[in-house]
Amino acid sequence: MASRIRRVLEWSKSHEGRKLIRFTAVSLVSTVVSVLAITLVYGLRIIRSEVEATLFGNLVGAMPSYSLNRRWTWGKTGRSHVRKEILPFGVMAVLGIAFSMLGAFYAKHLVHAHHWSHLFNTGLVDAANLASFAIFWVLKLMVFNRIFHVDEEAEIDAELLREEVPPTG
């Protein structure tokens, strides 16, 4: 067991391990933002439709996702490339939101078929969104990893060069 824990810790310090941990952390942030938005707008009856509340929540949750993933997960700086970064991210975000809409339509069906409390219905709408997100997450990870792929050899060379050159100042 100790050797397995040691291997996981070593992996978590690798480039790929850090990238996956960061992607997961960003996904967690955007999911929390999304669920909070859905809970607020649907739970407080600001948006009465399960589907529209889910759409709104996911759009709000997508806002920080691009910037955090681009800068923190994949270490990209400078201007975003529309065709290579923004467009694929937008397509994946729309696909993810569309997938969440399937869960929202199912939640809507359950809400209208039963006479549960609004509090329970709010939890159901949140749960449908979380389940949809979980299913879509793995696909998104694979695609985003391709979009923001950084040439690992160039990255290692740059790090070695930084180590060789003493800091000035």
pLDDT digits (tens, 9 = 90+) for 71-119: 988 888 899 889 888 898 898 889 989 999 999 999 999 999 999 999 9
According to the model, what pLDDT value does residue 149 have?
Answer: 62
What's the pLDDT at 136?
Answer: 86
Over range 150-162, report the average pLDDT.
58
* Structure confidence at residue 141 (pLDDT): 72
pLDDT at 34 over 90: yes
pTM for the model: 0.75
Distance of CA 110 to the CA centre of its chain: 27
Helices and strands (H, E) in the chain, number of each type: 6, 0
Q: Tell me the one-letter amino acid at 70.
A: R
Please state, as a whole number, how many other Cβ atoms lie within 10 Å of the Cβ of residue 128. Answer: 24
Measured distance CA(140)–CA(135) in Å, rounded = 10
Q: Can you give the pLDDT at residue 76?
A: 87
Opening angle at CA 52, ends 46 and 54, nearest 5: 95
Q: CA nearest 93: which of 38, 49, 149, 136?
A: 136
Dihedral (Cα; 86, 88, 90, 93), 10-degree rounding: -140
